[in-house]
Amino acid sequence: MKVADYKQLHVYQLAFETAMDIFTASKKFPAEEKFALTDQIRRSSRSVCANIAEAWRKRRYEAAFVSKLSDSDTEAAEKEVHLDFALRCGCLDSPTHAKLRDHYDHICRQLTKMMDDAPSWCSNGCELREMPAEYFVGAYEREERRSVKIDERARKAARYNALTLHAQTLHALNAPRYVTARH
């Protein structure tokens, strides 16, 4: 199966849906937790998704790919701690807590598996890599048009400079010369 975009990754889809579940559940958190637990639990759940997306774009370099997946795994583990606090503080009921913890456990396991199998995600011959250059439609054409525009600008600048010099020369030749008499 070819994966053309990080949004097709099962781990990303699960992380995104779980982040949305957390957003919905955190709407019921007490007002005094708005700038503490509510804010932190929402930000770190979104960070899991963001780091997966960054890892996907950095898979050209295996170490960078693993590093971003590791960041995502760390955020997911942090999320588990926040969920435990939310349960103990009475912000989450037990079934919701168990469901969300289970999702983050799966996310952590999938991320660990991807990190352990990083060469297959990053190697050139891997079937899981994004599609070849045709995926970037018109890249060559855009570059070609850009170089034509640069050449055109250079020609216009040269013509402008030549006309300016010509005008200055004509002005100098046609300028009246005043001779002052000395007494």
Residue 99: give its domain's CATH number: 1.20.1440.60
- Domain-located, residue 100: yes
What residues make up the domain containing 73? 6-134
Q: Would you state the pLDDT for residue 103?
A: 93
Answer yes or no: are the C-beta atoms of 111 and 12 closer than 8 Å. no
- Domain-located, residue 66: yes
Name the token pair of 157.
């600048």
Q: Would you state the pLDDT for residue 93?
A: 93
- Domain-located, residue 42: yes
Whole-structure pTM over 0.85, yes or no?
Answer: no
Q: Would you state the pLDDT for residue 172?
A: 64
Q: Which residues of 120-146 are buried (b: 16+ CB within 10 A; e: fewer)?
A: ebbeeeeeebeeeeeeeeeeeeeeeee
- Domain-located, residue 124: yes
Q: Would you state the pLDDT for residue 150?
A: 67
- Domain-located, residue 12: yes
Neighbours of 103 (CB within 10 A): 21
Q: What is the DSSP string of 133-161?
A: GGGSTTHHHHHHHHHHHHHHHHHHHHHHH
Domain count along the chain: 1
- Domain-located, residue 113: yes
Ranges assigned E (strand) in 28-151: none
Q: Would you state the pLDDT for residue 128?
A: 45
> Which residues of the chain, if any, have pLDDT below 50?
125-138
- Domain-located, residue 146: no
What are 88-135's pLDDT values in tens digits? 989 999 999 999 999 999 999 999 999 999 998 886 544 444 444 344
Q: Would you state the pLDDT for residue 137?
A: 44
Q: Would you state the pLDDT for residue 183?
A: 54
- Domain-located, residue 71: yes
Q: Would you state the pLDDT for residue 142?
A: 54
Give the rounded percent of residues in the chain with a pLDDT score beyond 70: 74
* CA dihedral (18, 19, 20, 24) positive or negative: positive
Q: Would you state the pLDDT for residue 181?
A: 59
